[in-house]
Amino acid sequence: MGKGKLAKFADLASYPHVFEYPYSVVDNVPFEMKGKWGESFFKNDHPIVLELGCGRGEYTVGLGRLFPEKNFIGVDIKGARMWSGATESLRSGMTNVAFLRTNIEIIDRFFATDEISEIWLTFSDPQMKKPTKRLSSSFFLERYRKFLKDGGLVHLKTDSNFLYTYTRLLIEENHLPVQVQTDDLYHSGQADEILSIQTYYEQQWLDRGLNIKYIKFALPKEGTLIEPDVEIEMDDYRSYNRSKRSGLQTAK
């Protein structure tokens, strides 16, 4: 029998590479490692990469294995999910992986100017009715600018045609430099070792015959970001653990 939530949270509290600062405590507890992740935790000056909305942490752990010369931090508020990646990386003795349990809306409180080199957004909730909650929105990109290096990379990997289209239009509206863009990753010839890391939910999307979309773009610090003023067709299927998007059944 697997561990329950309480046992998983107890584990996380004891893990040396997991930091927990949800809304409920962040205002009362200063985050002293801001600007010092490399020096204080990783003990090196290697580039630091974030996975925002890391879920079970498959990408954070997978990237950590592929790139021992980089440091990776998975961020999510769902501790019971994060436990999987945190436990795997701890048991594997990985020293270039950490996890931060917090609300992504306050992500800029934990990292200093130019401290982060890249950001991964893997299967984020598309938030079709709430533009400011989309992790690729100008609202969040402005937050990322506070700690992402000038021209640092943002990766979006998603099942959602809505989120992919929205992000593509935002990039076009703001003339952001695009390095890779495809609406069918695994039939594009561009699914290299990095992009082929598959999360728990991605495997289920693929089983249902959905195309995986991917965009990699650079985020310069200069310029005012503008939201695309266009209506986008909403996804017509139900997504796991999100509000209902249609009657298409999820796997049992």
Question: What are the start-end ranges of the E strands in 103-212?
Answer: 116-122, 148-158, 178-182
Alpha helix (H) ranges present in 119-220? 138-145, 161-173, 200-207
> Distance between CA atoms of 188 and 135, rounded to whole angstroms?
25
60: enclosing H helix or E strand:
helix 58-66
**Parallel/antiparallel/unpaired status of strands 18-20 and 97-101:** parallel
Measure CA 187 to chain center. 23
How far apart are alpha carbons 172 and 139 in whole angstroms? 16
The C-alpha atoms of residue 57 and residue 61 are separated, in whole angstroms, by 6
**219-224 CB contacts, 8 Å cutoff, 24+ apart:** 219/141, 219/144, 219/145, 219/148, 219/151, 219/152, 219/153, 219/154, 219/176, 220/150, 220/151, 220/176, 220/177, 221/145, 221/150, 221/151, 223/174
Residue 80, H or E segment: helix 79-91
* Residue 207 a catalytic site member: no
Amino acid at 249: Q
Catalytic residue (one of 11, 125, 184, 207): 125
Owner of token pair 């992000």:
167
Catalytic residues, by residue number, are 125
